[in-house]
Structure 1
Amino acid sequence: MSEALVRVSHLCFSWPDGTTVLADVSFALGPSSTGLVALNGAGKSTLLKLLAGRLTASSGTIDIRGKLAWLPQHLPLATSSTVADVLEVTPVLLALDAISAGKGTPEHFDIVDGDWNVRERVYAILDRLGLGHVALERPLSTLSGGQVMSLGLASCLMQRPDILLLDEPTNHLDTSSRERLYRVLNEWKGCLIVASHDRELLRTTEHIAELSRGDLRWFGAGYDAYRDTVSTEQNAFAGQVQNLRSEVRREKRDKQDARERAERRAGNAARSLPDAGLSRLAAGLRKRHAQVSAGKADELHEHRLASMQSRLADAASELESLPSLDFTLPATRVPARRVLFACENMQVCHGERALFGDNGLTMSIRGPERIALSGDNGSGKTTLLRIMAGERSADAGVVRVAQGGVTYLSQRLELADTTRTVAQCLADYAPGMPAQERANLLARLHFRGDRMHLAVAGLSGGERLRVVLACVLHAEVAPQFLLLDEPTNNLDLAGISQLGEALRAFEGAMVVVSHDAAFLATIGVTRRCVLGSPGERAQSLGHKR
């Protein structure tokens, strides 16, 4: 292996409440690509923050050789910033403009510092990520979530790092943007560590590191080999658990049978004593001997049973440590003829650009339809959902929005006050739900005991998504019309499957933005609405499955 760029020795980290995230973790990585996988809340983001120097370890050392760039899961970007600001090239571009205009000063030359082709370098990177058409002066507020994520990666690449840490980089990206990202990362030759639940992205990495119960396990043959290994292990442990449960039941039966036999022998002996001609002393000794023998046999069975139960507990702990998530939705039904949304020649303008093409968007949604809303990043998917939710108005056209029962889950997982606890947030949204029922609901989403009193601001992306889902789906007014913007972002693979099954059973209407084809197939899409790329005509496709 070439010289390590990242070397971690005996790393430990725990949260102030005592929750252990990492326990004596050590590894070394050179130029290579590693996919970091774990259940939601296990600590993937925490590990990346430790490597990036954003958190301090409880103990152990982290040695970084070279320049490091980190793309967090949630980009802390001000909407007033421009593309150039995010790429940190605004001062250089202004200095170059001043020099080109003949107004350069020594300070301008110091700012440029030999980076004369910075504009060409910027657009080369932006073009590779599908952002070549985006002006450097453009405000972030006019970009989609996917475009902002791609811009964040571009900012990392502009730093020319030796080490690249990416936290769920395909969140919000459309299919073409994901494919571009895969190509860029395949061509990159440094040390890459990417935390993701995107199976296709994980398949591009050389190694898989699984974080579980404070420890990292390494797999060197890629994601598919990792899944095969884990599946084989899980099947083996499941078989072991089943066999041990059978042994425990058999040992309990043997113990009971032995006890009953001893009791029968003791009874028979007591009844036969008058005929045996034994003295009272000899009879007493025989009885005590029988009792001692029965006690020893009972102890032997107890010892065997305790040993089996211990082995059973160990084997069971190797299986999935958490039960399945329960995303059960309220029982709602939408009449087939009810109009939930309708628009005619609807238009939204971003500056001089018409978002929905030359003729605007015309569509309607009636009854319990399940619509997959798709289109390139920046084509207006989130804007359309916000109009359907009544959060913003169209600039032109006729729009009719349903009143009441509309629930919108945004990409940004917004809650009014993230300093409040999980339990407090659910109480805010569902004040009429009894406290015990709220506690039971949170327990089904893995917020039990003290965990329901954690502040939302400190949760992982997947944990926060579960809280937001609980709040918006169980709000005081039961949802009849769900608007879901990339609902599988941040969820682990098991959680995606369980959410899909819950939505499949939902009897209301929904519009879903998702680039996960398997998830869309699970929920039972009945219609697809495709929004064209910027400048193209939007179209609504009403083909039933």
Structure 2
Amino acid sequence: MQLQNVTYFHPNKDLLFENISLTIAPHEKAALIGNNGAGKSTLLRILAGELQPASGTVISDSKPFYVPQQFGQFNHLTVAQALQLEDKLKALHAILDGDVSETNMALLNDDWALEERCHEALEAWGLEGLDLHQPMQQLSGGQKTKVFLAGIGIHQPDIVLLDEPSNHLDSDARSLLYDFIENTQCTLLVVSHDRHLLNLLDTMLELSKRSITVYGGNYEFYATQKQIEHNALDQDVKSKEKALRKAKETEREAAERQAKLNARGKKKQEKSGLPTISMNTFRNNAEKTTARMKDAHSNKTGQLHEELTELRKALPDMDKMKFGFENPSLHKGKVLLTAKAIRFSYGTRELWPEGLDLQLRSGERLSLKGRNGAGKTTLINIILGRLQPTAGTVESAISNAVYIDQDYSLINNQLSVYEQAAQFNTAALQDHEIKTRLARFLFTHDYWDKPCSTLSGGEKMRLMLCCLTLARQAPDVIILDEPTNNLDMQNIAILTTAINAYNGTLIVVSHDRYFLEEVRVERSIDLEGGWFAQRAHDGGDPLK
């Protein structure tokens, strides 16, 4: 699979990338990585044939099978239609009913095992019994992802394109995905922020506006190389800052020396009684000398300043940010919540029939795990005081909790970025202080009047973090629901750094094991199909 000098413009004519080239060898397993907005998903769609570039060539030995990130465009279709199987299945059934027309035979193309292969592939992804004629609209996000992953086994392509395939999958389905990636002979190109998945791949392809940089190795290798590059850049910035300080000091000292020389020369001229015309000549020469010297120093400091500005632009955004969370009002170790033998019922369906016991302390960090329907959201709402259990008791000392869901619904899309920040300004900061705080989170003047509805997922996450720093008091508890979904690596690093600067209680719902380790989760609460267990973090994987 090859890209040759491919350029793509957004529909509004903004350039996304220009003259990029790429070659992927047969059986290679590569990741396409880059910041949000770099064009990763667009590039996959170009390779899949769904979009046409403005210029350049796409060459592929065979048609790739594409698993998109979003599936809403298939909601009006059945499973068979979404997987482009309906015509072939109709032809198979027509032939079995005796209609052996040339059209039906050509459509089937001797694929007599098609239906059996469909059922085997769906069963392999945990979708046993799924009707191929069921509307996609009736499926959850995870089920839709698994339908398309099953499509790989049905179509058996040589090339597979995967766009954030683990986003909607639970732990069991992710394990199936990891096994597939490790064992498949397909050529793979994957867009993902899942670091466990990325470590199973052979090559990292970093996309930017002008090029694709190839790193031969998995994500850990890539991260090491990027750290080396970052350290070198950081050293360059420090060296340039030192050179600029030295140049400014030299300029100041030289100006002071020249001023003293000019003053002494003027006194000598006045004492010697030189004619006015000679005095003027000497004064003009002194002024010209001072101006030449000033220009020389200004050129040098100006050049150093420009070079330093360019180097600083290349620094990762996280290095430009400052986090300033206030400390929560509760001392570390204080019991925030005690739940005893709690249960909850939805009609006749009862969660945790044996009863759930839970104690939550200030400053603790824990993860909440469970399949869909295990009661994670219900437990969160009980912790937040939004729901009362149908049995058992809850005693809570939580006065200030923040729940940050996957859609950042605490952000009002009708407000501007500045207006949203002002909503959280319980510390009564002045207008300019709010804007300074926004700038710390990379929201410059151009963003202040921008509607929140136009922000990307990563930008909404940064704005939410900024809002939390504007409050008079940090929350007692922050609850994060799948916080790394749809965030690129840079924004995951920003989120991790911010959360590690927070001293309060943290509850995380996440399948991202690396993130859980990096935010120092101490124990996990497992809600698996109605049973409940708590496991201490022993320095290994908190989800094991």
Q: TM-score, normalised by structure 1?
A: 0.77
Instruction: Give CA-to-partner distance per residue, 1:381-433, whole Å, 9 cap, x none.
Output: 45654676688999x86686989966544446668997x57639948976999
Alpha-carbon distance, 1:250 to partner: 1.4
> Is 2:149 the partner of 1:153?
yes
The one-letter amino acid paired with 1:285 is T
Q: For 1:222 and 1:192, locate their aligned partners in 2 and report how far apart those are by CA, in whole Å.
A: 14
User: Is the contact made by 1:197 and 1:491 (CA closer than 8 Å) also made in structure 2?
Assistant: yes
Q: 1:16-95 alignment to 2 at 5 Å?
A: 16=12, 20-31=15-26, 32-55=28-51, 57=53, 59-65=54-60, 66-76=62-72, 87=83
Aligned to 1:239: 235
1:373 paired residue among 368, 383, 393: 368
> Is 2:538 the partner of 1:540?
no
1:7 paired residue among 3, 10, 18: 3
1:292 paired residue among 265, 288, 307: 288
Instruction: Give CA-to-partner distance per residue, 1:453-486, whole Å, 9 cap, x none.
Output: 6666665443455467778998999965544221
2:417 paired residue among 423, 428, 440: 423
Tell me: CA distance 1:87–1:327, structure 2 relative to 1, closer, same or farther (3 Å).
farther
Q: For 2:357 and 2:89, locate their aligned partners in 1 and report how far apart those are by CA, in whole Å.
A: 44
1:183 paired residue among 166, 179, 187: 179
The one-letter amino acid paired with 1:29 is I
Aligned to 2:213: 217
Q: 1:430-469 alignment to 2 at 5 Å?
A: 443-451=439-447, 460-466=456-462
Structure 1, unaligned stretches of length 5 or more? none
Q: 1:165-180 alignment to 2 at 5 Å?
A: 165-180=161-176
Q: For 2:111 and 2:375, locate their aligned partners in 1 and report how far apart those are by CA, in whole Å.
A: 36
1:203 paired residue among 199, 206, 230: 199
The one-letter amino acid paired with 2:367 is A
Aligned to 2:542: none
User: Is the contact made by 1:7 and 1:27 (CA closer than 8 Å) also made in structure 2?
Assistant: yes
Q: What's the secondary structure of 1:186's corresponding residue?
A: helix
Tell me: CA distance 1:382–1:84, structure 2 relative to 1, closer, same or farther (3 Å).
farther
Alpha-carbon distance, 1:11 to partner: 0.9
> Is 2:484 the partner of 1:488?
yes
Tell me: CA distance 1:363–1:500, structure 2 relative to 1, closer, same or farther (3 Å).
farther
Tell me: CA distance 1:452–1:310, structure 2 relative to 1, closer, same or farther (3 Å).
closer
> Is 2:268 the partner of 1:263?
no
Q: What's the secondary structure of 1:27's corresponding residue?
A: strand
Q: For 2:19 and 2:476, locate their aligned partners in 1 and report how far apart those are by CA, in whole Å.
A: 49
User: Is the contact made by 2:479 and 2:507 (CA closer than 8 Å) also made in structure 1?
Assistant: yes
The one-letter amino acid paired with 2:36 is N
Q: For 1:81 and 1:475, locate their aligned partners in 2 and report how far apart those are by CA, in whole Å.
A: 47
Structure 2, unaligned stretches of length 5 or more? 539-544
The one-letter amino acid paired with 2:117 is R
User: Is the contact made by 2:244 and 2:301 (CA closer than 8 Å) also made in structure 1?
Assistant: yes
Aligned to 2:268: 272
Tell me: CA distance 1:393–1:11, structure 2 relative to 1, closer, same or farther (3 Å).
farther
Aligned to 1:304: 300
Percent identity between matched residues is 28
The one-letter amino acid paired with 2:532 is Q
The one-letter amino acid paired with 2:56 is T
User: Is the contact made by 1:95 and 1:104 (CA closer than 8 Å) also made in structure 2?
Assistant: no
Tell me: CA distance 1:269–1:50, structure 2 relative to 1, closer, same or farther (3 Å).
same
What's the C-alpha RMSD, in Å, of the aligned pairs?
A: 4.7
Aligned to 1:344: 342
| Count of residue pairs the alignment pairs up | 527
1:163 paired residue among 159, 163, 171: 159
Q: TM-score, normalised by structure 2?
A: 0.77
Tell me: CA distance 1:449–1:191, structure 2 relative to 1, closer, same or farther (3 Å).
farther
Tell me: CA distance 1:391–1:512, structure 2 relative to 1, closer, same or farther (3 Å).
same
